[in-house]
Amino acid sequence: MLFRRCQWSGFMSSILGSEANFMERASAFVLIDQDSDTIASEAFAIRSRGFAEIAVVTNPIYQGRGLSTLLCSQLVQWLMDRDLQPIWSCDETNAASWRVAEKLGMDLSVSYTFFKRAAHFANAR
């Protein structure tokens, strides 16, 4: 299965609890270098309540060629054709991700904070 070859397949499956859940609630677009059979870039959309959060990763060998923008533009159109509202989230220090989002017509409409469990609670029961 092509999904299992993706760099983020494990991460995406873990977010949704399993590969089967990913297949049911998400979509993936992949660009493959036909000469080397290498996955050059992959874009994912996790669908929920009329929205689809996009995630993209490009193999370092292929970065800087506009592949994320190309792939995500196709994914955004595919989502919109299905009446899903694409959303984009990224770390504020990830300039490359910001540039791709802006090229896709995204704007900063919401900012939010993530909380994580403090290290001193890690072993607490």
HSE, CB side, 13 Å, CA atoms: give it for residue 71.
Answer: 25
| Number of structural domains the chain divides into | 1
* More confident position, 4 or 125: 4
Residue pLDDT, tens place only, 51-70? 999 999 999 999 999 999 99
The mean pLDDT value of the chain amounts to 87
Specify the residue for token string 């072993």.
123
The Cα–Cα gap between 97 and 91 comes to: 8
The angle that helices 95-103 and 67-81 make with each other, rounded to 10 degrees, is 50
The whole-number average pLDDT for the span 23-31 is 89
Domain range for 18: 2-121
Residue 123 confidence (pLDDT) above 70:
no
Q: What is the pTM of this model?
A: 0.80
- Give the CATH number, domain containing residue 109: 3.40.630.30
